[in-house]
Amino acid sequence: MRRRMAATTFAPTLTLKAGGGNDVSQKWRGAVTDEIGGLIRVYKDGHVERPNIVPFVSSALHQELGVTSTDTVVDKFTNVWARFYIPNHVQHQLVPLIVYFHGGGFCVGSAGWSCYHEFLAKLARKVNCVIMSINYRLAPENPLPAAYEDGFKALTWLKQKRLEASSEWWMRQCDFSRVFLAGDSAGANIAHHLATRLASNNGTKLEAANSLCFKGAILIQPFFGGEARTESEKRTAQPPGSALTVAASDTYWRLALPHGSSRDHSWCNPLKQDERSGCNSEKPRVLPRTLVCISERDILRDRNVEYCGALAKAGNVVECVVYDGVGHAFQVLSKSHTAQARALEMMSHVGAFVHR
């Protein structure tokens, strides 16, 4: 049985030091069982610490961005909430809605992180769409499938708002006949699993009475794994401070998956079930169209390419774009000239995909 866990988030000015230290409370908690430097530390007693190395910001935006943002509670019992981004120039027109899930290995990250706030505001303006960014529960306190459940709950909440003809001002800009699921890294994994669920009979109720119509999925560097290493995992050199290393990936999966699961669990390795079954009915079924954005220097590159091939083989319509010279999560974490140029390219590709 998984031990009940509590979390601590540090102020931005505090950092964690390596080693045991002399803190009495730390000794009481026991040894550190899992750690990803600077991001998360898990103690033997189940206590979780997340240093606040990325600032949390409010929904406020600079006026010159031309985008308005607001936060809304989705489920007060689980503390799931969403941040909306609406371009100011769409006040008298309906535009597509992108439901977005942030990355962070299921264990860290937030819709309130400054890097996502900046990226999604620019994306909403560039693509000319409304974006609903979901803040879901994190592992290890809430292991999978909690994040998937939160994602589906957010879609159900959205459907209910639509059916109620809610007076929420952001709803007046949404074209609910053009809804897209999207996310990066772990968020792309969530979007994949939701797309798979919606493609099954379990998801048809969300489209009842034309309340929501899902047109596609946008998966940016989807976070998948497996017990066997791919060539990109074995041979792609990562600079110090890289957003995702093989060791970090293994730790994220160990914390996120149900206790005792291997990395060949279908939530981590969606293609493994297909290999075992050899049955066409088990091949991945997703939404009408899927765009997969891949980074050349990402350890996940080969898994992402293989995923695209599996989707196409199963009869899905899939577009695959590889961005040269950049690594995992470059669009939110890197300020280099190359990364910024590739991020603009990605936004253009997303815009073309959404408005096609």
Instruction: Provide the pairing of β-strand 317-323 with 289-295.
Output: parallel
Whether residue 298 contacts residue 244, with contact meaning beta carbons closer than 8 Å, is answered with: yes
In which order are the strands placed within the sheet that holds 67-75? 67-75, 80-87, 130-135, 95-101, 174-184, 214-220, 289-295, 317-323
- Quickly tell me which residue has 């189940």 as its tokens: 46
- Write the CB contacts of 103 (distance below 8 Å, at least 6 apart in sequence): 109, 183, 184, 185, 186, 187, 188, 221, 223, 329, 332
What is the Cα 323 distance to its own chain's centre? 19
Residues 350, 164, 67: CA angle, nearest 5 degrees: 35
In which order are the strands placed within the sheet that holds 47-50? 6-9, 47-50, 40-43, 32-36
- Strands (E) across 173-332 are located at 174-184, 214-220, 289-295, 317-323
Nearest to 98 by CA among 59, 127, 66, 135: 127
Say how many residues make up the chain.
356
Task: Give me the active site residues, please.
Answer: 185, 298, 328
- At residue 69, φ and ψ (nearest 5 deg) are -130, 145
At 212, which amino acid appears? L
